[in-house]
Amino acid sequence: MALVSGAPLASRSCLNKSLISSTHELKPLRRTILPTLRWKSATPSINMCLTTSNSVDAVQRRIANHHSNLWDDDFIQSLSTPYEAPSYRERAERLIGEVKEMFESMGPNNDLLQRLSMVESVERLGIDRHFKNEIKSALDYVYSHWNEKGIGCGRDSVVSDLNSTALALRTLRLHGYPVSSDVLEHFKDQKGRFACSSIKTEGEIRSLLNLFRASLVAFPNEKVMEEAEIFSTTYLKEAVQKIPVSSLSRQIEYNMEYGWHTNLPRLEARNYMGDMIHEMSYMNAEKLLELAKLEFNIFHSLQERELKHLSRWWKDSGFSQLNFVRHRHVEYYTLASCIDIDPKHSAFRLGFAKMCHLITVLDDIYDTFGTMDELKLFTAAIKRWDPSATEWLPEYMKGVYMVVYETVNEMAGEAKKSQGRDTINYARQAWEAYIDSYMKEAEWISSGCLPTFEEYYENGKVSFGYQISVLQPILTLDVPLPHHILQEIIFPSRFNGLASGILRLKGDTRCYQADRARGEEASCISCYMNDNPGATEEDALNHIHAMVNELMKEFNWELLKPDNNVPVSSKKHAFDITRAVHHGYKYRDGYSVANNEIKNLVITTVLEPVPL
């Protein structure tokens, strides 16, 4: 944060003049071409913005020169697609019936592996929502043959094999079956190492890839899963250097790059389509592939409609006139549509994108643009939750406040349709806690105080805004969430605390250098170093990475543990939101600077359909 305390407010005319952004630099382009971006700066930097006023006093403001919106509204509104035609939906429905028959046509020699492969394929292709019953039947069948030594390829197999066992361990665990990782001990040699040959055959490489993927769904204190991850990672890094470029090498690279906690289902589906023919050579993969492509493009047509709605909301809100904020509504929508492709969940996707954009706008106000006096007024206005509370706010804050007020109330209306009751009080409580955490950080900056690591971390879990991004969108889903269940998902529940903690720690490792450059000293890194004299940045980063690793395992357990109270679908949505936000921090802060990875994600998962 970078705040200037105690300065008088600039006049309305001066503020409006200083906040008007430059003319949009993007023009509607051909669908397959990324809109050209004229960067203001390769890395956000701070300039002092001096606004004049009618008095001799002036307000000095720090503005992080974030690049402008990449996705011009005219460009978004010009998008069109042919995949809304009924013929595509009709063809998809016929294929769904044919794929259901494929689940039943499996022989005894490899029926276990085939069932697991079918489940994995429809999930990785993003079409699993059509086959819920078939998936459950397939996994019930596999689980009925599971034992302490694992499974083989088929029900008649005498010996268990690592490939089938690792795939089953991961798949069954993700679907809530109680399977122990101790089964992997049976695949070690006498020296306690996972057995493998000196010649890396394709079959062995696939087994180790499935072992690696299984190791990522580890629970706390599962030593064998830690060993499996270390061993398989080393093995696969060596193998991918030796084997020719192929579907197998691409699958290794994809899985090692994104793992599970930063993987996005729609991105995986797009990548997997090109390789699944080779991965399922013993099945009628053509039908699966055609269905996956049709479903991808049919949903693409819905994405366009939703994106147009979101872009109009952004434009009509007046946010485009605020040149000191980051405009990432399209990127946030992309993340939402990469984790939920159910056509009925438009309110979830749009709600997530809007909430995240509001969080970003307020982050830029509290971190850089607002004075302490203004922030105190805005904080008080949020707590009053009344349009009349804007009376004492500066002009730019009045508009922002009203968009927050109207959007949150609109989301509460959507939630009421699903929950059958008014949930606005949950939203207000979340926003009050969020704003209070921001004010605490503002006070630290204003006073020059560097808090302890624990104090910063606990406050930072709230100020990250995870609860804001999750709460109202989840309430729009068709899953009843009475008060006692909701308390197990929202803050300060263990589930919410883990998610918020992971994202706060991960976000700080990507943002602390840029934040420090503009005078925002407090971060997990700086607070750890201050608590531990003599510790280096590398020491702090190593400590934080170790924390994230352990928190991930606890988060896995909170998601997958037997729980009769909280609907799995609700926890899964909250978990997937964490994965989506985590994805943006994969390489760097993808929210301050829309890097190539984020731009390519928008193009490949939202803007461009797949060739049929």
Whether 282 maps to a domain, the answer reads: yes
Q: List Cβ<8 Å contacts ≥24 apart for 278-287.
A: 278/246, 278/247, 278/248, 279/117, 279/121, 279/247, 279/251, 280/117, 280/121, 282/110, 282/114, 283/102, 283/114, 283/117, 283/118, 284/102, 285/121, 287/95, 287/98, 287/99, 287/102
Whether 299 maps to a domain, the answer reads: no
Which tokens in the block code for residue 586? 């994969």
Residues marked as binding?
363, 367, 515
What is the model's pLDDT at position 321? Answer: 86
Residues 200, 162 share a domain:
yes
Whether 441 maps to a domain, the answer reads: yes
Residues marked as binding for Mg(2+)?
363, 367, 515
285 or 515, which is more confident: 285
Residues 400, 268 share a domain:
no
pLDDT band at residue 521 using 50, 70 and 90 as cut-offs? confident
| HSE-up of residue 162 (Cα within 13 Å, Cβ side) | 23
Point out the least confidently predicted range of 19-33, 144-158, 560-574: 19-33
Point out the least confidently predicted range of 74-78, 80-84, 207-211, 318-322: 318-322
* Domain boundary, last residue among 293, 326, 360: 293
Residues 114, 164 share a domain:
yes
* Domain boundary, last residue among 258, 293, 328: 293
Our count of domains for the chain comes to 2
Residues 525, 402 share a domain:
yes
Which tokens in the block code for residue 246? 């192929």
pLDDT tens, residue by residue, 34-59: 332 222 222 232 232 333 233 324 56
Residues 354, 283 share a domain:
no
Do residues 269 and 238 touch, judged by C-beta distance below 8 A?
A: no
* Identity of the amino acid at 34: L
Q: Domain range holding 371?
A: 12-16+41-65+318-607
Predicted TM-score (pTM) above 0.85: yes
Residues 238, 180 share a domain:
yes
Give the residue carrying structure tokens 């030796």.
Answer: 242
Whether 497 maps to a domain, the answer reads: yes
Helix, strand, or coil here: 69?
coil
Residues 330, 262 share a domain:
no
pLDDT tens, residue by residue, 118-155: 999 999 999 999 999 999 999 999 999 999 999 999 88
Residues 496, 395 share a domain:
yes
Residues 122, 52 share a domain:
no
* Domain boundary, last residue among 293, 328, 355: 293
Q: In sequence order, which residues have a C-beta less than 8 Å from that of residue 77 and are 6 or more positions away?
A: 308, 311, 312
Whether 459 maps to a domain, the answer reads: yes
Q: Name the H helices within 318-423.
A: 329-339, 346-364, 372-384, 395-419
pLDDT tens, residue by residue, 283-329: 678 899 999 999 999 999 999 999 999 999 999 999 888 888 888 89
Whether 29 maps to a domain, the answer reads: no
Whether 34 maps to a domain, the answer reads: no
Residues 587, 448 share a domain:
yes
Whether the pLDDT of residue 277 is over 90: the answer is: no
Do residues 171 and 214 touch, judged by C-beta distance below 8 A?
A: no
Whether the pLDDT of residue 543 is over 60: the answer is: yes
Specify the CATH number for the domain of residue 154. Answer: 1.50.10.130
Q: In sequence order, which residues have a C-beta less than 8 Å from that of residue 459 and are 6 or more positions away?
A: 437, 440, 441, 451
Residues 245, 358 share a domain:
no
Residues 569, 536 share a domain:
yes
515 or 454, which is more confident: 454
CA distances from 489 to 73, 341, 471, 484 (A): 35, 22, 9, 10
Whether 5 maps to a domain, the answer reads: no
pLDDT band at residue 27 using 50, 70 and 90 as cut-offs? very low
What is the model's pLDDT at position 43? Answer: 29
What's the chain's average pLDDT?
85
Specify the CATH number for the domain of residue 503. Answer: 1.10.600.10
483 or 93, which is more confident: 93
